[in-house]
Amino acid sequence: MRKRLHFTIEDLSKSSRVSHNVIARLQRNETRKMQPWVLGRILPHLAARFKETFPEAQGDPYDFLIPPTTFGSWMKNFRARRGLKLKELAKALKVHCYTVIRYEADLTKPDAAVRDRLRRRFGLNGELDRYLKSAPKKKSAGRQSTGRD
């Protein structure tokens, strides 16, 4: 796709602020997984031909590549759209990097203070809330109390 748009690796590297080595490894398919921030920085330069390359992508290319179905996938999609590295988002939210990793893996959800920082820092309105609705709590299948504990 880069070649069809007449981009050299150097041109794409300069315009996207992604290193030459990262772009070369992506082109050779030598990466273990695509980092959302890399996608967010490269995709705007390749968006002109995205639908030509992926005709099944009906709408937004970010939603096609990282469908926001859960809070974690929404967070990855959000990072890709903004071109944010993990550390940059963690610093903006005033949390540890591993906390963001846990959010993206759907292991935890942010508390009220972090949600507020996310809304204020990035100007999010209701978009965030639809992914943070709490699921109904299941009853514990553990030992029932007999009153003698």
Helices 9-16 and 36-46 pack at an angle, to 10 degrees, of 110
pLDDT at 138: 43
Return all residues near 68 (Cβ < 8 A) that are at least 6 apart. Answer: 74, 77, 78, 131
pLDDT at 149: 42
pLDDT at 91: 95
Low-confidence ranges of the chain (pLDDT < 70): 1-6, 29-32, 34, 48-49, 52-53, 134-149
pLDDT at 141: 47
**Cα–Cα distance for residue pair 39/42, rounded to 1 Å:** 5
Go through the domains of the chain in sequence order and give each one's CATH number. 9-61 (no CATH), 66-131 (1.10.260.40)
Helices 9-16 and 20-27 pack at an angle, to 10 degrees, of 120
Residue 35, number of CB atoms within 10 A of its CB:
18
DSSP assignments along 95-137, one per residue: S-HHHHHHHHTTS----HHHHHHHHHHHT--STTGGG-PPPPP
pLDDT at 98: 95
pLDDT at 104: 92
* E strand segments, 1-149: none
Return all residues near 147 (Cβ < 8 A) that are at least 6 apart. Answer: none
